[in-house]
Chains A and B, each alone.
Chain A
Amino acid sequence: MSAGGWAGALLVAGLVALALAGDDVSGYRFDAQDTEHALEGPSAAHWMGADALGRDLFARVAEGGRVSLLVAIGSTAVAMLIGIVYGAVSGYVGGRLDGWMMRAVDAVYSLPDVLVIVLLTEVFHGVLDAVPDLYRRLLALVLALGLVGWVSVARLVRGLILQAREEAWVEAARAVGVRGPRMLLRHILPNVSGPILVTATLRVPSAILAESIVSFIGLGIQPPFSSWGVLASDGFAAMRSYPHLILFPGLAILVSLFALHLLGESLRERLDPRQRS
């Protein structure tokens, strides 16, 4: 892997560690209020400053990161799962079914992302009655983001499988009697796992970005949880007097996206044979 890739991987690892251990690193609980120090800028005591209730912004960014990363990874998993199954079936079965399935993908593809995410989030939030209130919104967002993201995965997987079907080793496997799902699961999918992994890595940053956008316009993550997008949105309202409130959540999104892209691109160079130059 390239130097950039290692740098990306390291940054990602660092961010995940921070998100997991935020409270312990800063020494403040993310919801501990201290009105004495409300709205103070960065200092030795509060590395990123404090918010309107005197909560430590570093701890809040770490806590927000936990939610942002969780939603992004969860939704990527949903998107990958649906996309791989759909794309594999479409590509492997082929024929008329393939045609219809791809027509459906085209229709979904022409839906504007953010609109659909917003709508789906509201719908899932209403429909998932059985889930405890506290987690309903989170789950709704995960599902909504996942349901929007699977389309490109399905296209990619179908393309890979169509390509693989023509190759000599598949012919060889078929000659010794390997057929159907066994062929797909045991032989073809493992062989195209590289590009799929790359796509998964690159889906995570776009999910983080989409979540932050939806949360910024007030339709995403809701209290008591906050995410980087929520923190940035709160900070935006006070950016004239207290720029640190938007600076640090904004930086968190920027650095995580940057790191994940670095990692993804370098993985792509390594794992995706079509891209190797």
Chain B
Amino acid sequence: MTRGRRGGLARARIRRIRVWAAVALLAAACRPLGGEPPPGELRINLGTEPPSLDWALATDGTSFLLLEQLMRGLTRMGPDLRPQPALAERWEVSDDGLVWTFHLRRDVVWSDGVPLEAEQFVRGWRRLLSPQTAAEYAYFLYPVKNARAFNAGEIDDPSAVGVRARDRHTLEVELEAPLVYFPSLTTFMVTFPGRLDLVERYGVDWTEPEHFETLGAFVLEEWRHEYKIVLRANPKYYGPPPSLERVTGYMVDMDSTALVLFEQGLIDIVRLPALEIRRFRGRPEYRTLPLLRGYYYGFNTKLPPFDDVRVRRALAHAIDRREFPKVLQGGELPSGSWLPPGMPHHNAAIGLPFDPERARALLAEAGVDASTLPPVRIVYNTDQTHKLVAESVQAQWRENLGLAVELENREWKVFLKELVSRPPPIYRLGWGADFPDPDNFMNLFTSSSANNHTGWSDARYDRLVAEASRELDPARRQVLYDRAQRILCEEEVPIIPFFVTSLNLAVAPRVHGFEPNAMDIYFLDSVSVR
């Protein structure tokens, strides 16, 4: 009995070893299977599902990334982030700066063979602005004459909006006021031409692969919602044909999972989680670049003691911005000026430097005794990065000023509601460029901006920003923005700019011609794979 049992055990052990050997063999055999990438196909991680590919309704980065591959506008962002001709081969502006005329290319057809016409812009823009469409980004076209009034329902006649097709290939746009960066606006997806025939025929389903017609370098082949989107090269594209046959964008929302898939050879381009960057530093797969994305703390300037500008300046002087990249490890670029590096008219000399002496002096001057002051409240939305920043600020103000700081976090939606209804004494926010013009950043803190939660308003600042948006001469524009930035970041300090966020990517060696840029736009028509 005992002997037999033992024999059985031994046999069982041998069997188990065999099983494991088989499993290991299987794993080894399958390894190249997992690592053999499909030729001509680039696989990227989109992170999230694009809420909509209808470019009039889209608002987010993922939609923007995909539409850049699928569509073209009047103008297109070049690698230097300046607008270049796209569907419009040239344009001119009237002497008063009010009327822009765009001359369209004559060789452009949509993927179903329908030729491009100026009328498609007119209808697309009217649809964007129609109150029934309820497009969130309709305000992008508010500079166009009567656009705001039509969108608000104050005017019922869509033909009153200042956009006209002078002939099949000439588009005329009339503005409310001169705007120098209008060709930058027309790189943005909401201004793309519309195929209302498709929208009317298929309703909300017109963006599904079987109905979706586009005119960019790629067309939509497959869309498995919340999972992946597949793009195929567009044979009817008017430009040089892309080298890639196919682009698959997966929607893996956990960066750590995406990274494992990258290491398994299943995805070619992924964003690196902050804590994994150190391991990739120095490796050829690692790409990093500062983005046009600013991170700042705002004051509620109506609440004491922050109604005193000296207190605000003191707090700004008490921040050592070099701490942030150390804590976050994401290649953050400290910046004391609000216009981020990489943005035209950025000026690195602007901003209050780290100077604890000066900070203490300013507090004393304001008659504030940090030791008797009730704790200062910082409110941020729940997120690991924001928490780390807040903890670092808390430690710095405690050390440099002896200030007691309380941290409070809110869930995102609650935080947004609070910013509008009763802005916290100090809050964190970020801003990413929609288009690379300084006005997109500077406009944020004008009195009429819906995104200005500081309670601060300054007629001088408003005037400078408005004037700069009309100024054609770059040198004079620089002077205007410098002046406005000094008011914002040095004199009045309703906000403290902290740093600029960086892009951190891992790109597989098989990918060639991929150049990341500060807007985080992927130009996949010039990418190839081994």
Contacts and interface: CB of A to CB of B under 8 A. Distances in A.
In their complex, do chains A and B touch, with some C-beta pair under 8 Å?
yes
B199 interface: no
Contacts of A126: 414
A223 B387 contact: yes
B378 to A, nearest CB: 12
Interface stretch (B11-19, B132-140, B252-260, B487-495): B252-260
B409 A237 contact: no
Contacts of B274: 52, 237
A222 B407 CA distance: 12
A269 interface: no
Interface in B376-391: 382, 384, 387-388, 391
Given A134-B408, A237-B275, A239-B256, 13 more contacts: A33-B391, A35-B327, A52-B274, A52-B388, A122-B411, A125-B411, A222-B382, A223-B407, A236-B254, A236-B256, A238-B256, A240-B276, A241-B278
A53 B274 CA distance: 13
A242 interface: yes
Contacts of B387: 223
21 contacts: A52-B274, A52-B327, A52-B388, A53-B391, A122-B411, A218-B382, A223-B382, A223-B409, A224-B407, A237-B274, A237-B384, A238-B273, A238-B275, A238-B276, A239-B256, A240-B256, A240-B259, A240-B260, A240-B276, A240-B279, A241-B279
A122 to B, nearest CB: 8
- A contact patch SS: loop
Nearest to A245: B275
Interface string B357-396: 0000000000000000000000000101001100100010
B395 A237 contact: no
B329 interface: yes
Interface of B: 254-256, 259-260, 263, 273-276, 278-279, 326-327, 329, 382, 384, 387-388, 391, 395, 407-409, 411, 414
A237 B273 contact: yes
A218 B254 CA distance: 12
A218 B387 CA distance: 14
Contacts of B255: 237
Interface of A: 33, 35, 39, 52-53, 122, 125-126, 133-134, 218, 222-224, 234, 236-242
Nearest to A35: B326
A76 B382 CA distance: 27
A247 B498 CA distance: 34
A53 B275 contact: no
A60 to B, nearest CB: 13
Contacts of A224: 407, 409
A67 to B, nearest CB: 15
A134 B410 CA distance: 11
B275 A52 contact: yes
A56 to B, nearest CB: 15
A133 B378 CA distance: 13
A188 B386 CA distance: 55
A30 to B, nearest CB: 13
A133 B410 CA distance: 9
Best-surrounded residue of A125, A240, A242 (most CB of chain B within 10 A) = A240
A240 to B, nearest CB: 6
B327 A53 contact: yes
B458 to A, nearest CB: 32
A241 B409 contact: no
Given A222-B382, A223-B407, A234-B384, A241 B276 contact: yes
A254 B115 CA distance: 64
Contacts of A122: 411
A33 B395 contact: yes
A33 B327 CA distance: 11
A223 B409 CA distance: 7
Contacts of B278: 39, 241
A52 B329 contact: yes
Contacts of B256: 236-240
A96 B276 CA distance: 62
A139 to B, nearest CB: 15
